[in-house]
Structure formats: structure tokens, C-alpha cells
Structure 1
Amino acid sequence: MQIGFAGLGNMGFAMAANLVKAGHEVLAWNRSKEPVARLVALGAKEAATPAEAAQAGIFVTMLADDASTRSILEEGGALAALKPGAVHVCMATVSVAFAQEMAGRHAEKGVGYIAAPVLGRVNVAEAGQLNILAAGEDALLDRVQPVFDVMGQKTWRFGAEPERANAVKLASNFMLVSAIETMAEASAMVAGHGVAVADFLAMATSTAFAAPVYKIYGEAIVQQRFEPAGFKLSLALKDIRLALEAAELARAPMPFASTLKDNLLDGVAHGEGHLDLAALSKVAARRAGKG
């Protein structure tokens, strides 16, 4: 199967590499050329422009946000280059409003549009074990399912409207950030009473909170392991902002999301935007006079 792929950041590269290893013909584009060269070394082909990558029947984008995705679709010519009957699979975490707009614009052009953001860090992507949150027409989803099967352990379908998948991803990231924020605040509180954070989190993540998100991020908090970032504070701030926008569209109050946005903004304002989400513990410690 020929697949165009645009966006070879840490996550995108791992996903595209798995497609190459599975025997698919991958036509890859990225703004910086180094990851393209690494992917070509695995057997991919380089696309000189986003428009060239979009010549494939299935075109996957995995970019940082609305603006970067819009840039390659419009200025990069990818949307115009999509052929009738092609399908664009947007796997980035973008806004609900952007997904709605893109679904309409693709339909006007006679091409398919699927939203399929993912759950999982880079190591999960490398293992082909992502959870893929997908929404779009059933026929289109069936067509790209073999692609999803290479990149993920399970595809979760949420209906025909693509923006539903983006709403689910934003809600999931809200829950993720919430879990880390509660650990960070609780750790700062017990530390103020002389309790070792390592002891507290060992107990918490072995009892009532014995779930992967608490265990993985709890260990990172204890070890102060914030680099390399699996999920940057700056990207988490972007996602919480998008979650608040989606909540406003649905008239669903999310008061804690506003608190999370301010705490993430605190970290970014202190020059910590490049650090892993576990660095929310630095924000909590700083506010408790321990940072």
C-alpha cells in the first residue's frame, strides 16, 4: 500500500518507520531533512514537498497543531494535490473546530478525511502499540484499518464525524494532565510534613492509584526525570487550551481545566515548556516554597 506521511517528529517517525518495516511504500516529507534521511535509510522514499506526499492514495499527517497542519495543507499544497478518492488521515492533536472545518473542505474536494489522534508515548509508538482514536465514515475507516493495525494495538471508533475523535483525545489528555497535577500537589503537601516523596508515591501507585499513568509519571517525579520529554509542558498547555475551547462549544464547564492551564502556563513562564509533563511537580514545589 502506498502511504504519504508528513510530520516526522519523535512520534511521527516511529509510526512511519513501523509502516516501512511492515512493507508499505511510504512517501515521506518533513520540514527538517534529518529524519527523512533516516526513514529513507529504512526503505522509505522522500517527498520533496507536502503536495508530493499527498499524491499517495492514503495521506497521513502527524504535526504539532492546527497551524502546522493547515500550513502543509494550504501553503504546502497538500490539500490541492489530493486526488479524487484519496483519504487524508490526520493523526495530530488538533482542535475540534479545525477538524470540523477540514472535514467540510475535504468533502467539497471529493476526498476523505479521518481524524485519528493517538494515545501513547514515543516508546509505545516504536512498539506499534498505540491506541488509535478514530472517527470518520465507516468505509474510509475500513480502508485505512490495515495502516492502523501496524501502528496501534487497538483502534477505537467514535462515529462518522471526525471531530469526535479529537474531542475524545482532548478529554483524555485533560484526564492525563489532571492525574499528574494531583500527584504533584499531593507530593508537595506531604513533603512539607517531612515525608519522602518517593515513599509516598510508592505507596500511592501500589494501592489506590496502581495504574500506568500514575506509575510512569510518579517514577519520573521521584527521579526528577524531565528530559528527554515524552510529552512537553508546552504541548500539554496547547491541548488544555483546546480542551477548554471544545468544552465551550459543547457548553460543558471544565473548571479544573482552567486551573491546569494556569499551572502549565506557570511552568512555561519559568522556561520549563521543553520539559516533560512530570515537571508539573516543579510548579507545585515552587508554589509550596520548595522549588
Structure 2
Amino acid sequence: MELGFIGLGTMGAPMVLNLLKAGHQVRVWNRSKAPLDELARAGAQPVDSPIQAAEAEVLISMLGDDAAIRSVFIDAKALDGLAAGSVHVNMSTVSVALAKELAALHAERAVAYVSAPVLGRVDVAAAGNLNILASGPADALIRVQSLFEVLGRKTWHFGEGAELACVAKLSANLMIAAAIEATAEASILAGGYGISRGTFIDMITSTLFAVPVYQGYGKLMVDKQFEPAGFKLSLGLKDIRLALEAGEAAQVPLPFASVLKDNLLDGMAHGQGDQDWASLSEVSARRAGSK
């Protein structure tokens, strides 16, 4: 299949490599040039503009936030490169409002728009084991399912509304942030009484909370392994803000999300924006005077 791919960051680049290994032709574009050479050596075709990348049967985008999507698709006019009958699969996590707006803009051009944000960090993307949360027109989802099978181990369908997969992803990230915060606070409480935080986290993640999100982030907290980031704290703040916006639009109170937003802002104020969002634990540690 002839593909275009826009956004070659820590998640996008390994996804392109997997598509190339599966035998697809992939045009690639990125705002910075650094990832293009490596992907070109692997068989990708770098292009000079997002419009050129969009000139494909299926375009996939993996950009950081709403502003980046607007910059590429509206300001740089990547939308104009999409031909009638093509499909745009947006694997970025964006706001409910932008998902609806993009779906309408694509419909005007007779282009199918699919929302497909993912669950999984960089190593999971490289292994092709992402969980893909998808929503959009049923026929378009069928057309791109073979691509999802290359990129992920399972596709979860949430309906036809472009915003539905986005809400599912924001809800999931709200739960991850809550797990990080709960693990941090509980382990620091234990530490306040002289219990080793590492021992406590090892115990709790081997018993009551023996699940990947607690185990993985718990280990990062104990080891203070916040760089390189698998998912930046600044992106976590972005997603919690989007969750709060989605909650307000649907009249769903999210009081704990407000606490998480303020704690993430605390991390940003202390220069942690580029660290893994497991470093949210450092906010609780500072407040408790703990190292």
C-alpha cells in the first residue's frame, strides 16, 4: 500500500520502520530533518512538504498536540494534498473539539478521517505491540485494519464519531496519571516512617497492584529514571487539560483531574517538562521534604 506518514518523533519513527518491514511504500515528512536520513536508509521516501506526504492512499499522522496538527494540516495546507477517496489516520492524541473539526474538514473533501490514538510507549511501538483505539467511518476502518495489524497487537473500536477514540485515550491517560500520583504519595508516606520506598513499591506491585502501569512507573520512580522520557511530563499535562475540557463539554466533573493538572504544573515549574511523567512523583517528594 502507498502510504504517507507525518510526524517522525519517538513514536512515529519506529512505526514507519514497522510499515516498511511489512512491505509498504512510505512517504515521510517531519518538521525537523534529523529522523529523515535514518528512515531513508530503511527505504522510506522523504518529501519536502506535508502536502506531498498527504498525496497517498492512506496518510498517517503522529504529532504532539492540537497546535502541531493545526500548523501542519491547516496552516501548511496538508489537507490540500489529500485526494478524494483517501483516508487520513490521525494517531495523535487531540482534543474532542479538534477531532470534530477535522472530521468535518475531511468530509468536505470526500476524505475519510479516522481517529486512532495508541496505548504504549516507545519500546511497545518499536515491537509493533501498540493497542490502537479507533473510531471513524466503518468502511475506512476496514480499509486500514491491515496497517493497524502491523503497528499494534489489538485494535479497539469505539464507534463512528471522530472524537470517541480521543475520549477513550484521554480517559486512559487520566487513569495512568492517577496511578502515578497514588503510587508516589503512598510510597512517600511509607518512606516518611523509615520504610524503603523501593521495598514498599516492590511489595505493592507484586501483590495488590501487580499490573504493568504500577510496576513500570513504580520502577521508574524508585530508580529516578526519568530521562530519556518514554512520555514527557509536558504531554501528560496536555492530556489532562484535554480531559478536563472534555469533561466540561459533557458536564462530567473530574475533580481529581484538577489535582493532577496542578501537580503537573508544579513539575513544569521545576523544569521537569521533558522528563518522563513518572517524575510527577518528585512533586510529592518535594512537598514532603523527601529525596
Distance 2:123 2:35 in 1: 17
**Secondary structure class of the residue paired with 1:88:** strand
Answering whether residue 256 of structure 2 is matched by residue 218 of structure 1, we say no
Give the 5 Å matches for 1:82-161.
Answer: 82-161=82-161
Task: Write out aligned runs for 1:1-291 (5 A).
Answer: 1-291=1-291
Q: What secondary structure does 1:174 align onto? A: helix
Letter in 2 for 1:260: L
- Distance between the aligned counterparts of 1:192 and 1:34, measured in 2? 45
TM-score w.r.t. structure 1 length?
Answer: 0.99
Moved over 3 A (4+): none
Q: Distance in 1 between matches of 2:147 and 2:265?
A: 36
What SS does the aligned partner of 1:74 have?
Answer: helix
Unaligned 5+ segments in structure 1 are none
Counterpart CA distance in 1 for 2:73 and 2:223 is 41
Q: Which amino acid aligns with 2:3?
A: I
Separation of aligned partners in 2, 1:8 and 1:247: 30
Equivalent residue letter for 1:88: H
The Cα of 1:62 is off from its aligned counterpart by 0.2
Distance across 2 between alignment mates of 1:70 and 1:89 = 15
SS at match of 2:153: strand
CA distance in 1, matches of 2:177, 2:17: 28
CA distance in 1, matches of 2:74, 2:232: 27
Measured in 2, the distance between the counterparts of 1:54 and 1:271 equals: 36
Q: Secondary structure at the match of 2:113?
A: strand
Q: Which amino acid in the other structure matches residue 217 of structure 2?
A: Y
CA distance in 2, matches of 1:182, 1:75: 41
Identity %: 56
Aligned counterparts of 1:247 and 1:172: Cα–Cα separation in 2: 14
SS of the counterpart of 1:148?
helix
**2-side partners of 1:278 and 1:164: how far apart?**
27
**TM-superposed deviation, 1:54:** 0.3
Deviation at 1:221, TM superposition (A): 0.7
What secondary structure is seen at the aligned counterpart in 1 of 2:11? helix
Give, in whole Å, the separation in 2 of the partners of 1:37 and 1:94: 28
CA distance in 1 between partners of 2:267 and 2:240 (Å): 14
Q: What secondary structure, in the 3-state scheme, does the structure 2 residue paired with 1:60 have?
A: strand
CA RMSD of the aligned region, Å? 0.7
Letter in 2 for 1:71: S
- State the 1:76 CA deviation: 1.8
Partners of 1:161 and 1:33 lie apart in 2 by 34
Residue 75 of structure 1 and its aligned partner are, at CA, apart by 2.0
Residue 240 of structure 1 and its aligned partner are, at CA, apart by 0.1
How far did residue 280 of structure 1 move?
A: 1.2
**d(CA) in 2 for partners of 1:250 and 1:47?**
41
Task: State the SS of the aligned residue for 1:10.
Answer: coil
